[in-house]
C-alpha cells in the first residue's frame, strides 16, 4: 500500500500547484477518472448500455464518493494510519448500502437494471483512491469539491458511453426514439463487447484532443 500511496502522490503531486478553486474542474477534464485515470472500469463497461443506466450509476457513485469523502476528511485526525484502509472500506460500504436501499425505494425497475453493480460500487477503486489520496489529507471543503468534480467527471464519462451505446444499439436516447421505426439496431453496442469498443473510441478521441491542447 505504501508504494501505491507514493505513486498516487507522485501522480497527483504534479498538479498540486493548481489553486484550490481548481479542485472541482480537475475531475471533469484533466484528471477525468475514466478517460485519464482509467479507474472503475467494471461499472463503466457493465452499466453503460443505456443513457439512463449510465446516469443512474454515475449519480449513485457520486453520492457515495461525496459522502465518503466528507466522512473520511472529517475523521482524518481520528483514524490511526494502521487501520485507515479498513475504516475507509467500512465507510464506503455503509454509503453503498444506503444508496442501494434508496434506489430500491425510488424504483424497483431501476434497481433491477443496475443489478449487482450497485453493491460493486464498494470496490470501485475511484472512491478508495479519492479517500486515500485526497480526503485523508485535506479539509472537508476541499474534499467536497474534489468528490463533486470526480463524481461529475465519472458521470459525464459514463453518460458519454451510455448515450453512444443506446443510440446505436437501440436507436434511442433515454428511451426516446430518435430514428425512423425501421432503424437497424447495432445489437453489439448493448452487449459487453460494445462497451469495450465505445470506451476505446472515446479514449482515442479524448487523448487526441488532449494532445492538441
Partner 1 sequence: MLSKTLHISTSPHITKGVSTDSIMRNVVYALLPVVFFAVYSFGLSAFLVIITSTVACVFTEHYLCKLSKKESTISDWSAVITGLLLGLTLPPIFPLWMAFCGGVIAIALGKYIFGGLGYNVFNPALVGRAVLQASFPVAITTWYPSFLPERFSNIPSSTLAFPFMEPDLDAMSGATPLSAFKFDQVSTATNDLALGLISGSTGETCALLILLGGIYLIARNMMNWRIPVAVLGSAFVLSGIFYLIDSQAYPSPLFMLFSGGLMLGAVFMATDMVASPLTPLGVWIYGAVIGLLTIIIRLWGGLPEGVMYAILLANALSPHIDKMTQSRVYGTTKSKVST
Partner 2 sequence: MNESKSIPVSSSASSGKMLQAMVGIGVLCALLIVLTYEGTFDRIEQNKAVALEQAIFKVLPGITQTEAYQFNENNAFSLLDSENTDREIIYAGFDSNDQLVGVAITTSGQGYADILRILYGYDIEKEAIIGIHVLESKETPGLGDKIEKDANFLENFKALDVSLNENKSELNNTVVTVKNGTKQNPWEVDGITGATISSRAIGDMLGLSTKRWVPLVFKNKDSFKIQKVEE
**Which residues would be at the binding site for partner 2 (CB under 8 A)?**
9-10, 12-13, 16, 20, 49, 75-84, 86-87, 90-91, 93-95, 97-98, 101-102, 104-105, 107-109, 133-134, 136-138, 142, 169-170, 185, 187, 190-191
Q: Which among partner 1, partner 2, none contacts residue 91 (Cβ within 5 to 8 A by kind)?
A: partner 2
Which of residues 102 and 204 has its CB atom nearest to partner 2 in the complex? 102
Q: Report the residue number, 172 or 206, with the smaller CB distance to partner 2.
A: 172
Binding-site partner at residue 193 among partner 2, partner 1, none, CB < 5 to 8 Å by type: partner 1
> What radius of gyration do the chain's Cα atoms show?
18
Residue 41 grid coordinates: 472500469
Q: Which is nearer to partner 2, 101 or 207 (CB)?
A: 101
- The grid cell for 96 is 453503498
Residue 160 touches which member of partner 2, partner 1, none, C-beta under 5-8 Å by kind? none
Q: Which three cell numbers stand for residue 88?
A: 475507509
Report the partner that residue 135 touches, choosing among partner 2, partner 1, none (CB closer than 5 to 8 A by kind): none
Q: How far is CA 191 from each of CA 6, 38, 83, rounded to the nearest angstrom?
A: 38, 20, 40
Q: Which three cell numbers stand for residue 206?
A: 479524448
Min dist. Cβ of residue 205 to partner 2 (A): 25
The residues of the shown chain that bind partner 1, judged by CB under 8 A, are 179-180, 182-184, 186-189, 191, 193, 197
Nearer to partner 1, 75 or 171 (CB): 171
In this complex, which beta carbon is closest to partner 1, that of residue 162 or of residue 169?
169
Query: Which is closer to partner 1, CB of 163 or CB of 190?
Result: 190
Burial of 67 (0-12, 13-18, 19+ CB in 10 A): buried
55-60: Cβ within 8 A, 24+ apart: 55/155, 55/158, 55/159, 55/162, 56/103, 56/110, 56/114, 57/114, 57/117, 57/158, 58/151, 58/154, 58/155, 58/156, 58/157, 58/158, 58/159, 59/155, 60/99, 60/103, 60/114, 60/118, 60/121
Select the binding partner of residue 184 from partner 1, partner 2, none (C-beta < 5 to 8 A, by kind): partner 1
201 binds, among partner 2, partner 1, none (CB under 5 to 8 A by kind): none
Question: d(Cα 123, Cα 179) in Å, to the nearest integer?
Answer: 38
Amino acid at each position: 500500500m505504501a508504494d501505491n500511496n507514493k505513486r498516487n502522490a507522485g501522480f497527483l503531486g504534479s498538479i498540486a500547484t493548481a489553486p484550490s478553486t481548481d479542485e472541482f474542474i480537475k475531475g471533469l477534464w484533466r484528471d477525468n477518472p475514466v478517460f485519464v485515470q482509467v479507474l472503475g472500469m467494471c461499472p463503466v463497461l457493465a452499466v453503460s448500455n443505456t443513457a439512463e443506466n449510465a446516469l443512474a450509476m454515475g449519480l449513485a457513485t457520486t453520492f457515495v464518493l461525496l459522502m465518503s469523502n466528507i466522512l473520511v476528511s472529517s475523521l482524518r485526525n481520528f483514524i490511526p494510519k494502521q487501520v485507515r484502509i479498513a475504516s475507509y472500506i467500512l465507510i464506503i460500504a455503509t454509503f453503498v448500502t444506503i444508496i442501494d436501499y434508496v434506489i430500491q425505494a425510488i424504483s424497483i425497475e431501476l434497481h433491477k437494471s443496475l443489478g449487482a453493480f450497485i453493491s460493486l460500487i464498494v470496490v470501485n477503486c475511484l472512491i478508495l483512491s479519492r479517500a486515500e489520496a485526497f480526503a485523508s489529507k485535506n479539509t472537508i471543503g476541499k474534499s467536497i469539491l474534489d468528490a463533486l468534480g470526480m463524481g461529475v467527471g465519472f458521470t459525464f464519462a459514463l453518460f458519454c458511453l451510455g448515450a453512444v451505446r443506446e443510440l446505436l444499439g437501440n436507436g434511442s436516447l433515454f428511451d426516446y426514439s430518435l430514428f425512423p421505426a425501421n432503424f437497424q439496431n447495432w445489437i453489439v453496442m448493448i452487449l459487453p463487447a460494445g462497451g469495450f469498443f465505445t470506451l476505446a473510441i472515446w479514449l482515442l478521441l479524448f487523448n487526441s484532443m488532449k494532445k492538441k491542447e
